[in-house]
Amino acid sequence: MMGGPLGALLGVAFGDYLVGGQNNRYQNNSLNFGTNERVQSAFFTATFSIMGYIAKSDGQVSREEISMAEQVIRQMNLNPQQSEIAKNLFNEGKKENFPFQDILFQFKRECRRRRNLIQVFLEILISTALADNHLDQNEREILEEIAYELGFKQQEFDALLSRIKGFSHFEQNGTSEAKINAAYELLGLDETATEQEIKKAYRKQMNQHHPDKLVAKGLPEEMIDIATQKTQDIKAAYELLKNNQVKV
């Protein structure tokens, strides 16, 4: 459907899938996405291939980074064909001749002004880089380049990176004090935040990650669980701060 480097990459992933001996009803060159198929296909293709590119950027692909890709696939509840193609795209991104700049440029063009959708794309890539709890310098430089090309200023990228770390810390930490600190981090705040600032940050992030709005903008419907999990964490962080004697 797309043509260009994204279309060519998706064609290779399909080819690898068919060469693998898959002979079933999925051999129709369709990923079975929703009505906004062009943007959804671009998002799907760019996400998994660049995940592979970032994972390989520090010289080796860690078990944690592979697990992150597998986790995204599980969260998307992909059908067998989609899962295999996602894995093929991840492997294509790991190759030496992966056309990173071309893929990123077309992705930007396909998504145009869908800022919240592009931010989710960047969040998934950051989560991949952080999967092994270490952000290599090469990984950071690539992420900064991606953010810049997609219209994010350095300060915005730094804030987003901090929030993604907050999501990870919030899900991992069980102690009340650590959980509260992670809740502030997740919402992009510090402990000096006022009631109004906490509520404003909460509403802004809920709006940015609203599943229905993201799907309308072109997020593959299969990724709705990822957005839903984000909103659940955002709400849980907000409720935790509110219940921690913070009058919000």
Sign of the dihedral defined by the CA atoms of residues 39, 24, 84, 124, in that order = positive
> pLDDT value at position 129?
86
> pLDDT value at position 95?
92
**Under 8 Å CB-to-CB from 214, ≥6 apart: which residues?**
116, 117, 120, 223, 224, 227
Distance CA 95, CA 23 (A): 26
Distance CA 30, CA 207 (A): 31
> pLDDT value at position 216?
82
Closest CA to 51 of 90, 95, 100, 11: 90
3-state secondary structure of 194: coil
Distance CA 68, CA 66 (A): 5
> pLDDT value at position 114?
87
pLDDT in tens, the chain (248 residues): 578 999 999 888 887 655 554 544 444 445 655 556 788 889 899 999 999 999 888 777 888 888 888 888 887 777 888 889 999 999 999 999 999 999 999 999 998 888 888 999 999 899 888 887 788 888 999 999 999 999 999 999 999 999 998 888 887 766 688 889 999 999 999 988 988 999 999 999 999 888 888 888 878 777 788 888 889 999 999 999 988 754 44
